[in-house]
Chain A
Amino acid sequence: MFDPRTKLFLAMGYAVLIAASARLGWSLAEAAVLLLFIAVIGKTRLYLRWLRMALPMSLFFGAVVWWTADVRIAALAALKLLTLVSVFFVFFSVTLPEDLGNALVQIGMPHIVAFVVSTSLQFVPTIGRRIRNVLDAQRARGIPLEPGWSALRHYPAFLGPILIQSFQMAEALAEAMEARGFGRPGRTFLKDYRMRTRDWLAISFGLLALIVCLLGMRGWG
């Protein structure tokens, strides 16, 4: 519905707001609004699955902060981190990587850079599949790579094949892209990325809301 650039701008704006919040109440409110938004766009199930990865990461970060500061700051830090990465979860669940890439090219980012970003995102599931294959193959040989701390001892068995395969994959991919004229000047685009009235309106309202919230927070703080 909106241009990918608009979505990116709004996500960035929300990220600024989250980063600027210094009180637990504010952060909780921001998280609640985000959760509501996720429910409205119908991504709740996907989000819950994704949380299984993001939540432990945030808790770990919180634990580190707790170790150096107090529990209140730690809770705030963990919550802020979780909300922040959740914003980008939302962004990427409503934006195709290459839409973002192509839109960025149209506002002047070099094609190669934009493509590196969008293609690496595109291959996340493939890499995930290969990681599972490596784990299965090594466990089948008796290497105890079961989830847990003991697996760390056997990291070469895991890391070696993944690295080698990533290089091989990158090479094959580069070749396939070359064979379809990647990097040739004068590229056109199947999809039209145009900022429409509704994009400018969304950006204006977003900006306004951000300023009001930031001022409000200063007033309260």
Chain B
Amino acid sequence: MTAGMVKTDKLGYAYRQEDEHLALDGVDLSIANGEYLLVCGASGSGKSTLCRTFNGLIPHFYGGRLHGEVRIAGKPTSKHSVADLFAQVGMVFQNPETQLFNSSVDREIAFGLESLGFPRANIQERISATAQILNISALLGRNPQELSGGEQQLVAIAAMLAIGPQLLVLDEPYANLDPVSVRQVRAALKVIHQRGIGVVISEHRLPYTVPDVQRMVALQGGRVVLDGPPEQLLVQDVEPFGLELPLPVLAGRRLGLPRLPLSVEALQTRDVVSPLPSDLQTVPPVFHSDGADIVLEVERVSFDLKGFPILHDISFTLRQGESLAIVGANGAGKTVLLKHLNGLHRPTRGQVRVKGKDTGQVKVSQLARQVGIAFQNPNSQFFKMTVWDEILVGPKALGFCDEAWLRELVRLFRLEPLLKRPPYRLSDGEKKRVAFAAALAHRPAILALDEPTSGQDWHFRSILGALLAELRAQGQAILLVTHDLSFAEEHAHRWLLLANGQVVAEGSPWKVMSDKAAMESAHLEPTDSFRLFSADERTLADPVQPRGGRHV
């Protein structure tokens, strides 16, 4: 290993002086110059905490209790402030919205250089050079708050890159992004690494990261439990660490390949003679519609906002016990469509009927009785002092309280240990579970979840998956709004693929994914499972026959 960029020595950290719980516990790690490193682990494993020790935010910004030592290029962070360290270690955060604070992209990129006292001409030069590397020159005059999530992350990266750091640290940069944006940012990070700059990325979804990095470190309970190149480490199971093995890796292991393939492409370039083990394939659930009541009919709905067409001629139905996923990239109109179900938006043309009744004139607070929606950010709704009170909000407002059902919900969503705690103090995954339970508390005919898996780890996804299966079995109609295609493939009977406010494909997950033109127009790629297993006879089979069944 060459000269060390980062060296931690028995690093331990607690967020508060009096805390016994250590967020980091005896971390010994050295990162070489120019290395591309993945820090992974389940939620709460200490990934973000570790990242924040590299530029001195911990301990200088957060306070708390630090043991051991972190050295950046030989300098101990305890003796150097963030203002000293940020020129060497650039930090990009998870939420694009709250890390950009200037009125234009060029000023955003200039900010760090201004802090360092660069002369004006020099700043200008660096802005254009950086924008060129990241291919964002066209954005320089735009307001960062009006960009897409992916563009915002690129701007945040540019703002750090312009300073000329030796190391770029990114804390879950993909968490709020759709697959299109993830591809953009991944490509940018590759370019940065090729220029000799070290990259540390924290993330829990391995398929997005292991093909790119040279080395991975897994954390659990603030300790390093794995450390090495991915193709060597992934021969063992990582589920105990709250991680999910990428499908190509699993397939490679089962096929006994000598070097593990880390991506679908890597697996496909190998000459594999034996067929892939079929039990690795994700098979969408099948819905038997016979006789199930239609709970929702969306008929030729179009929606204009301030004269701009947002949704165009959308029709679909949803039956009891059926799970429908509205999939598409960010900005395709998914959430706008969702808000039509309970009257938060009213169609400009067309009709939405819930249980056969036109929703046109009905108030939102009345429609809420039949449609339970949990939006993406649970922080938008918590205002009670305990989780239990929070769950009771809906039933009280709507005058419908079924105690047996509430007890059932607490069991289903595993909320028993959380009931007396303040909701806004929970972890992100726990908050989501509370929000989902709250949406179901008054037993609505339709449960709609907006990006339920965004930013969530494997553990949360598997709990949510089991829960949705149970709800489906009970006859609950479910609407998933998501860009997480692998989750939607596993948990929806049927997909509605949206692009630019229009339905471009519809049917079983496999049928939609096999429509190449539609997927391209939606800027989405099929899931790994579909890409590996898709064969003609499979893609032709469409297990659902749901359309035009209003008279059934």
Contact with A along B76-109 (1 / 0, CB 8 A): 0000001100110011010101111111101100
Contact with B along A180-198 (1 / 0, CB 8 A): 1111101111111000000
Q: Which of the candidate stretches A56-64, A78-86, A168-176 sits at the interface with the other chain?
A: A168-176
Closest CB of chain B to A115's CB: distance in Å? 9
Asked if residues B106 and A178 are in contact (CB atoms below 8 Å), the reply is: no
- Tell me whether chain A's interface is mostly helix, strand or loop, or mixed: helix
B241 contacts the other chain (CB 8 A): no
A177 contacts the other chain (CB 8 A): yes
Asked if residues A188 and B114 are in contact (CB atoms below 8 Å), the reply is: yes
Asked if residues A130 and B57 are in contact (CB atoms below 8 Å), the reply is: no
Which of A161, A172, A179, A184 has the most chain B CB within a 10 Å cutoff?
A: A179
Asked if residues A172 and B99 are in contact (CB atoms below 8 Å), the reply is: yes
Closest CB of chain B to A87's CB: distance in Å? 21
Within the assembled complex, what's the spacing in Å between the Cα atoms of A98 and B103?
7
Q: Give the nearest-CB partner of B383 in chain A.
A: A160
A108 contacts the other chain (CB 8 A): no
Asked if residues B61 and A178 are in contact (CB atoms below 8 Å), the reply is: yes
Known: A139-B344, A140-B364, A189-B120. A177 touches B61 (CB 8 A): no
Chain B hits for A178, CB < 8 A: 57, 61, 82-83
Tally of B interface residues using CB under 8 Å: 65
Closest CB of chain A to B97's CB: distance in Å? 6
* A122, A136, A175, A190: the one within 8 Å of B61 (CB): A175
Asked if residues A122 and B439 are in contact (CB atoms below 8 Å), the reply is: no
Q: Give the nearest-CB partner of B93 in chain A.
A: A176
Asked if residues A143 and B95 are in contact (CB atoms below 8 Å), the reply is: no
Asked if residues A187 and B117 are in contact (CB atoms below 8 Å), the reply is: yes
Q: How large is the interface on A (under 10, 10 to 19, 20 to 34, 35 or more residues)?
A: 35 or more
Asked if residues A181 and B87 are in contact (CB atoms below 8 Å), the reply is: yes
Contact with B along A114-152 (1 / 0, CB 8 A): 000001001101100010011011111111101000000
Chain A hits for B369, CB < 8 A: 142
Chain A hits for B101, CB < 8 A: 119, 122-123, 173, 176-177
Known: A122-B102, A141-B438. A161 touches B368 (CB 8 A): no
Known: A133-B377, A141-B381, A156-B383. A180 touches B111 (CB 8 A): yes
Asked if residues B86 and A181 are in contact (CB atoms below 8 Å), the reply is: yes
Within the assembled complex, what's the spacing in Å between the Cα atoms of A191 and B90?
24
Interface residues of B (CB under 8 A from A): 55, 57, 61, 82-83, 86-87, 90-91, 93, 95, 97-104, 106-107, 110-120, 123-124, 127, 145, 159-160, 339, 342, 344, 363-366, 368-369, 371-373, 375, 377, 379-383, 393-394, 397-398, 424, 438-439, 442
Closest CB of chain B to A181's CB: distance in Å? 3
Which of A126, A180, A182 has the most chain B CB within a 10 Å cutoff?
A: A180
Chain B hits for A191, CB < 8 A: 107
Chain B hits for A133, CB < 8 A: 375, 377, 380
Chain A hits for B439, CB < 8 A: 140-141
Asked if residues B124 and A190 are in contact (CB atoms below 8 Å), the reply is: yes
Closest CB of chain A to B368's CB: distance in Å? 4
* B118, B145, B344, B383: the one within 8 Å of A140 (CB): B344
